[in-house]
Structure 1
């Protein structure tokens, strides 16, 4: 495609559309013309993207088409309704769609962590490679527990939330490559296994579970969900089915990036539990019970609302009117 010639031919159409958008309330004839020019410009944009994706021109026409669509679509729903839809429909259904993969990742994570823990606790050479005897005793007798109370509860909760939200976002954002997600999950499983192995080696396994489980139920589940979303995006690229790879990747990416946004809220709750409940001077059964109760609430939330939204045909993707305008073209 000759971009210069394309622009020369269609520039009057785009300028006229811009002029109509600058007007106030259009007359009946102007409104009809606005619709026609919007449809033509959307087709021009589709053709450019398919044949010669000049970034400057595509950006210009994308903004023009978005302005026209906004004018023709009228006033959007209030922000609180959009937020309510996200909380009650988009996020739970996005998680519900990857539930089986979440369970599979969780099982593999626990198996890898348990294997590493058995290896560390049962092999003196591995234990010695992790540090000196003095360092190991310092960790199991003081550092492991002190980690949860060395800062104020609010500050610690914020630090934990920031770190875990970053990991979850990376799992989703890097999902298209596949391997980074597996690496992040594997590295976390090994880290948990090493900590468990050290404590079990010094007969402090009860301390490990007492301080991991209160927040770990929800925190690790959120990481599993992020990993599942990332791998689902990867699989959409590998096996797109009847769709093109670009369409499959765009559709799954939009739907499952919802997970990264929603998990920020879930991990904020987990951070509060880790900052305020895990180090609390309560009986172990109470701290673990609170953490398990929060985890169960999340499972019920996803199971009930996600199932309902999936039955209604929702996927977590944007609504059809928000995705963009696609006009099929042939070269």
Structure 2
């Protein structure tokens, strides 16, 4: 195919599509012309890709199509239906599709955390290099328990929510690099292991588990979900499968962005539990029961709504109409 001849023959049509795409108001005839031009350019792009795939021309035509598609579709407005669909279909579908990534991440962290805690329990000299005896007594006897009640519940819930959302965001944002996620997880689980071993050594195991379990079960699960999604993001460009590396990364990146939005709500719930339930005068069994119930509801949410959505072909990615244009190619 003579690429120069095609460009010379179709240049005016491409320029006309660009002008229409940027025009604020279109009458009926212009709207029809926009759609007709879109179809023609899509055909041109398919021809170029299959016969003479010039990268600069492919990029130019793809940009024209993206602008025309946005202009013809218009701007999507917010609606509660969109929010409902996100939490009933898209978010649980993404969690279910990526379930093995965050489940294995959670199991690995639990195993490492318990192993480290047991080792520190039997080697207290290690912790003595981190804290003085006075600091240990202060932590064990007052600081750990008072941490949950020293601030007003509403402000404490906001503080916890922001902190946990930041940790989850780090896991997802830095997920594309892989190793930073492992570092964030190590910091999180090692802190829990150190405090847990100290509380056990000083006979305060009941306080430790009684204060950690109500909110920690859901909170840590949300962090593990974020880490698992982040690691999947890393793996998407390491082993992209049938997709190109860029396409695979874009697909998982869009899914990760949706998961991060959903986790904001999950972490808000765990923050409310930490602020209002963990330090409450309820008996320990009741507080722990609330934590277990919150985790079970989350798992039921994922494995019922999520599985159902995935079976209907929902992946957690954006609608096909919002994805980058893909034209058929030969070969």
Compute the TM-score of the two structures, normalised by the length of structure 2: 0.86
- What are the equivalent positions in structure 2 for 1:263-274 lying under 5 Å apart? 263-274=263-274
Contact 2:62 2:325 in 1 (8 A): no
Aligned to 2:138: 138
Separation in structure 2 between the aligned mates of residue 286 and residue 266 of structure 1, nearest angstrom? 21
Shift of 1:326: 2.3
Shift of 1:295: 1.3
Q: Residues 327 and 292 of structure 1: is their aligned pair in 2 closer, same or farther, counting only changes over 3 Å? A: same
2:107 corresponds to 1:107: yes
Q: Residues 34 and 182 of structure 1: is their aligned pair in 2 closer, same or farther, counting only changes over 3 Å? A: same
Contact 1:112 1:193 in 2 (8 A): no
Aligned to 1:27: 28
Q: Residues 207 and 23 of structure 1: is their aligned pair in 2 closer, same or farther, counting only changes over 3 Å? A: closer
Match of 1:174, SS state, is helix
Moved more, 264-273 or 6-15: 6-15
Q: Residues 66 and 288 of structure 1: is their aligned pair in 2 closer, same or farther, counting only changes over 3 Å? A: same
Aligned to 1:51: 55
- What are the equivalent positions in structure 2 for 1:246-325 lying under 5 Å apart? 246-325=246-325
Shift of 1:277: 0.6
Shift of 1:126: 0.8
Shift of 1:274: 0.5
Aligned to 2:3: none
CA deviations over 1:203-240 (Å, ceiling 9, x no partner):
11111100000001100000111111111111111111
2:144 corresponds to 1:154: no
Following TM superposition, where does structure 1 have runs of at least 4 consecutive aligned residues deviating by more than 6 angstroms?
6-11
Q: Residues 201 and 77 of structure 1: is their aligned pair in 2 closer, same or farther, counting only changes over 3 Å? A: same
Shift of 1:68: 2.5
CA deviations over 1:135-185 (Å, ceiling 9, x no partner):
100000000011111111111111111111111111112111111111111
Aligned to 2:185: 185
Separation in structure 2 between the aligned mates of residue 50 and residue 105 of structure 1, nearest angstrom? 43
Shift of 1:51: 2.3
> Gaps (5+ residues) in structure 1?
1-5
Contact 1:172 1:229 in 2 (8 A): yes
CA deviations over 1:69-92 (Å, ceiling 9, x no partner):
244336747522211111111100
> Gaps (5+ residues) in structure 2?
1-5
Separation in structure 1 between the aligned mates of residue 141 and residue 55 of structure 2, nearest angstrom? 65
2:233 corresponds to 1:230: no
Aligned to 1:3: none
Q: Residues 283 and 35 of structure 1: is their aligned pair in 2 closer, same or farther, counting only changes over 3 Å? A: same
Q: Residues 203 and 319 of structure 1: is their aligned pair in 2 closer, same or farther, counting only changes over 3 Å? A: same
2:163 corresponds to 1:163: yes
**Paired residues, what number?**
319
Q: Residues 53 and 175 of structure 1: is their aligned pair in 2 closer, same or farther, counting only changes over 3 Å? A: farther
CA deviations over 1:108-140 (Å, ceiling 9, x no partner):
111111122122222131121121111100000
Separation in structure 2 between the aligned mates of residue 269 and residue 9 of structure 1, nearest angstrom? 60
Aligned to 2:124: 124
Shift of 1:17: 2.7
CA deviations over 1:273-322 (Å, ceiling 9, x no partner):
00111111111011111111111111111111100001001110111101
